[in-house]
Amino acid sequence: MQPFLAHPFDSDRLHEECGIFGAIGVADASSFVALGLHALQHRGQEAGGIVAHDPEQGFNSAHRFGYVRDNFTKADVMATLPGPLAIGHVRYSTAGSKAATAIRDVQPFFGEFHMGGCAIAHNGNITNASALRRELIERGSIFSSSSDSECIIHLMARSIQRNIPERMKDALRRVEGAFSVIAMTRTKLIGVRDPLGVRPLVLGRVGDEGFVLASETCALDIIGADFVREVEPGEMVVISRGKIETSRPFGPSTGRFCIFEHVYFSRPDSIIGGRSVYETRRQIGVELAREAPIEADLVCPVPDSGTPAAIGYAQESGIPYGMGIIRNQYMGRTFIEPTDQIRNMGVRLKLNVNRALIRGKRVVLVDDSVVRGTTSRKIKDMIIDAGAAEVHFRIASPPTAWPCFYGVDTPDREKLLAANMSTDEMRDWIGVDSLAFVSLDGLYRAVGESDGRNAKCPQYCDACFSGDYPVAPFDQLERGFRMKPGSETAMNEAAE
Ligand code: SF4
């Protein structure tokens, strides 16, 4: 089966690249993992994999292209994944900006060590992966995928520690960047977050002896698991026989969680840091209405991700809220092999305007972000064609002016609209009557930091807005990427 094709306008969105889930101490753990991955499908739709362990049948795995619901609901596939311990992974990749995925790149990855097997599933991005890979290959490692995550297995193989959790610690101490990792041995489920905790990982409980680890709390809800807590930045949890051991392999650390998880990546029904993602997004809309008010007749979300912020904007401004754009719910990613004619239909394949509501109105359109800006332009055209009197764009994140190197698929910097234009220039290029982004301080207030962003010691990773990278993007620097002047010094000071 060929890799799935992205929507023709999919490249105008940032994409989380992975979702991970693991379960231990439950009958048919792979079924729990399949359901958990299904709830995490928004984090990656191209491919998925599950590894399970059964005391009699050992390790088994299945890796497939496509949606979880199309692969891991089939009795013949699930029957091959028995046992009380399993982990899984869903991944995203674009057909255009990167080489299409091969099935050998689909996680979890598996390694057989002399003390037993280990499977790992990684969410994030290793920023020194190229250097590590070069070193490992020079020393004899043979890679079977093009994924940065496979480095972890090879580093583990070179460790002299006697058990797998200790080998993982050795390996992850060599790794730079963002990682939330779920791993399994024959008897243990392991979860680790990088020292900054850039990508999410939560712990849940099922029944008396069962535990699960997941990228988001929405994946706990689907299987009826109770939320226990978040795995902390820099923490490793090892779960076996109903008990959890915890350690801090990287020493003390302060978290720099990805603030974009609040804006866009996570599902609105998830809870992050004790806050409802939906409520945070609604609050971003409130901040936006305070920072960028406008006289208008109607507030419309760009569905679905702009919806909570549009509700907040409408509530704060007192302007009526309405569904001026309707999303085609059944527009699946497998629908088309995009010909030029189909490509030109662009955003109309997925969104349609509610003409009766829009006609003659001054419309405030609320979207989550502007990446290349091409979709914003097309949406504006649709609204104007429908007879809107004015169009005002309000964006529920600051201008995205820098690429992400921590596990989010972003275009190169020169393709980011905000890297090349001022807000006024973007307004003119998109062709709207006004354009405003929530400020970085406004975004921080919406996520609960009442004093806004701490400029000396930011509470979150916000590099795609600020250019302040909390971890050096080593591989990218080697390839010629230029950071914001002064940011390397700030990074070194923060590390000390
Ligand atoms: S650069 Fe942006 S998207 Fe990437 S981890 Fe940081 S805040 Fe998240």
Given this model, what pLDDT does residue 441 score? Answer: 98
The annotation places the binding site at 258, 305, 367-368, 404, 461, 464
Given this model, what pLDDT does residue 345 score? Answer: 61
Same domain, 116 and 217: yes
Q: How far is CA 141 from the centre of its chain?
A: 30
Q: Which residues lie below 8 Å from residue 308, measured CB to CB, with a gap of 6+? A: 268, 278, 279, 281, 282, 284, 285
pLDDT for residue 183 is more than 70: yes
Amino acid identity of residue 399, one-letter, is P
Q: Which residue's CA is minimally distant from atom 5 of ligand 1?
A: 258
pLDDT for residue 36 is more than 80: yes
Given this model, what pLDDT does residue 252 score? Answer: 87
Given this model, what pLDDT does residue 346 score? Answer: 62
Residue 278: pLDDT band with limits 50, 70, 90: very high
Same domain, 228 and 290: no
What is the tens place of the pLDDT at every residue in 88-129? Answer: 999 986 433 345 578 999 999 999 999 999 999 999 999 999
Residue 261, in any domain of the structure: no
**How many structural domains are present in the chain?**
2
Structural domain span for residue 397: 280-452
Residue 481, in any domain of the structure: no
Determine whether the shortest distance from the Cβ of 206 to ligand 1 is under 6 A.
Answer: no
Backbone angles phi, psi at 414, to 5 degrees: -65, -15
Q: How far is CA 298 from the centre of its chain?
A: 31
Residue 53, in any domain of the structure: yes
- Of 215, 238, 255, the residue at which a domain comes to its end is 255
Residue 317: strand, helix, or coil: helix
Given this model, what pLDDT does residue 492 score? Answer: 57
Average pLDDT over residues 405-409: 90
Determine whether the shortest distance from the Cβ of 462 to ligand 1 is under 6 A.
Answer: yes
3-class DSSP string for 438-465: CCHHHHHHHCCCCCCCCCCCCCEECHHH
Same domain, 45 and 105: yes
Q: Quote the mean pLDDT of the chain.
A: 91
Burial 246-256 (b: 16+ CB within 10 A, else e): eeebbeebebb
pLDDT for residue 74 is more than 60: yes
Residues in the chain: 496
Determine whether the shortest distance from the Cβ of 259 to ligand 1 is under 6 A.
Answer: yes
Determine whether the shortest distance from the Cβ of 198 to ligand 1 is under 6 A.
Answer: yes
Average pLDDT over residues 23-33: 97
CA distance 67 to 41: 7
Given this model, what pLDDT does residue 93 score? Answer: 64
Given this model, what pLDDT does residue 411 score? Answer: 84
Sign of the torsion formed by the C-alpha atoms of 451, 455, 460 and 464: positive
Residue 312, in any domain of the structure: yes
- Whichever domain contains 155, its CATH number is 3.60.20.10
Tell how far the Cα of 410 is from the centroid of ligand 1, in angstroms.
10
Q: Which residue's CA is minimally distant from atom 4 of ligand 1?
A: 404
Residues taking part in catalysis: 18
Give me the percent of the chain exceeding a pLDDT of 90: 80
Residue 18, in any domain of the structure: yes
Same domain, 304 and 200: no
Same domain, 306 and 434: yes
Given this model, what pLDDT does residue 155 score? Answer: 97
Structural contact between residues 324 and 382, judged by C-beta atoms closer than 8 angstroms: no
The annotation places the binding site for Mg(2+) at 305, 367-368
Q: Identify the H or E element spanning 68.
A: helix 68-71
pLDDT for residue 2 is more than 50: no
pLDDT for residue 275 is more than 90: yes
Same domain, 83 and 12: yes
Given this model, what pLDDT does residue 169 score? Answer: 98
What is the tens place of the pLDDT at every residue in 375-397? Answer: 899 999 999 999 999 999 999 99
Structural contact between residues 219 and 40, judged by C-beta atoms closer than 8 angstroms: yes
CA distance 366 to 33: 35
Average pLDDT over residues 430-450: 97
